[in-house]
């Protein structure tokens, strides 16, 4: 199952709107890299700066709304930037601390199914603790009623941050189960593309902290989960089509930096 015509049009409009909004609101730093600007040209430097700036908010501006647009056609519910819950119980809080300690000392290997059931067993024990959890980037409820909570990360996340990523995933589970102990919930890291292609994604930095089979979806695996087989390739086609369609606008936008640089000389 690939992207429908309506989905493609929705995705392409998201991309067009996002790029045009960026053009209208982007204001690159003045020549703070004078040697680079004179060697490469201000327009190329502006393009580099623009790409870097765009990459930093690709997740919220593009990947999240695109993921929701794809998933809505294939799942019961899809939304972005939602709260997993406002509280967890003391029992779950203690269970998460113990799971994290065991993983940190390498006395246990990650086993998400077992970890979820450990939290479920104590998910309403003790006093309620009010928490302010990291927002869920993309939340999917599938046709079976299972909830899938995704934390979207950059293509090469800092390996030192996986401890906090893991704690966030466990806290989301605890918050969902605090409200409904029988809920079927899955929490995962999603990485929108594999920067190592055609080689497999380099997962060794996550081993020992994440259950790689149950807590990580990368590139094609993530997009095809949302929309079915062929979604990833269809999505790349949408990006290419919009890039070709807006090429004139993009070139015109960066040409003005070359003209500005010439006027300064």
List, for residues 214-235, the tens digit of each pLDDT value. Answer: 999 999 999 999 999 999 999 9
What architecture (CATH level 2) is domain 77-222? 3-Layer(aba) Sandwich (3.40)
Instruction: Answer yes or no: is pLDDT of 265 > 50.
Output: no
In whole angstroms, how large is the CA radius of gyration of the chain? 22
Q: Are strands 77-82 and 136-141 parallel, antiparallel or unpaired?
A: antiparallel
List, for residues 92-120, the tens digit of each pLDDT value. Answer: 999 999 999 999 998 889 999 999 999 99
Quick one: which of 153, 123, 136 has its CA closest to 222? 153
What is the Cα 127 distance to its own chain's centre? 33
List, for residues 76-91, the tens digit of each pLDDT value. Answer: 999 999 999 999 999 9
- 77: CB partners within 8 A, 6+ apart: 139, 140, 141
Gap between the Cα atoms of 69 and 64, Å rounded: 9
Contact call for residues 1 and 74 (beta carbons, < 8 A): yes
H-helix segments, the chain:
5-25, 34-40, 42-56, 58, 64-71, 90-104, 112-121, 162-179, 220-227, 231-245, 247-264
Q: Where in the chain is the domain with CATH 3.40.1560?
A: 77-222
List, for residues 142-155, the tens digit of each pLDDT value. Answer: 999 999 999 999 77
- 261: CB partners within 8 A, 6+ apart: 37, 41, 42, 43
Backbone angles phi, psi at 31, to 5 degrees: -50, 75
Gap between the Cα atoms of 157 and 134, Å rounded: 17
Quick one: which of 93, 94, 92, 69 has its CA closest to 80? 69
Proportion of the chain above pLDDT 70, given as a percent: 94
């Amino acid at each position: 199952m690939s992207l429908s015509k309506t989905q493609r049009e929705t995705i392409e409009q998201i991309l067009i709107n996002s790029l045009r909004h960026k053009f209208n609101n982007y204001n690159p730093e003045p020549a703070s890299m004078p040697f680079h600007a004179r060697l490469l040209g201000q327009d190329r430097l502006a393009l580099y700066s623009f790409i870097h700036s765009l990459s930093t908010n690709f997740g919220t501006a593009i990947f999240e709304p695109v993921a929701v647009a794809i998933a809505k056609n294939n799942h019961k519910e899809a939304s972005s930037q939602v709260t997993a819950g406002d509280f967890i119980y003391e029992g779950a809080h203690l269970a998460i601390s113990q799971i994290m300690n065991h993983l940190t000392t390498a006395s246990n290997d990650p086993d998400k199914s077992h970890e979820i059931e450990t939290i479920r067993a104590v998910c309403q024990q003790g006093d309620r603790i009010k928490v302010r959890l990291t927002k869920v980037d993309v939340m999917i409820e599938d046709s079976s009623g299972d909830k899938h909570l995704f934390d979207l990360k950059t293509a090469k996340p800092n390996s030192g941050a996986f401890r906090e990523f893991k704690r966030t995933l466990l806290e989301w589970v605890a918050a969902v189960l605090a409200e409904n102990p029988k809920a079927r919930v899955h929490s995962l890291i999603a990485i929108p593309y594999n920067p190592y292609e055609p080689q497999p994604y380099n997962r060794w930095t996550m081993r020992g902290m994440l259950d790689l089979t149950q807590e990580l979806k990368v590139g094609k695996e993530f997009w095809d989960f949302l929309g079915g087989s062929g979604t990833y390739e269809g999505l790349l086609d949408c990006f290419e089509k919009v890039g070709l369609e807006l090429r004139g606008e993009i070139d015109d936008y960066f040409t003005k930096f070359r003209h500005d640089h010439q006027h300064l000389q």
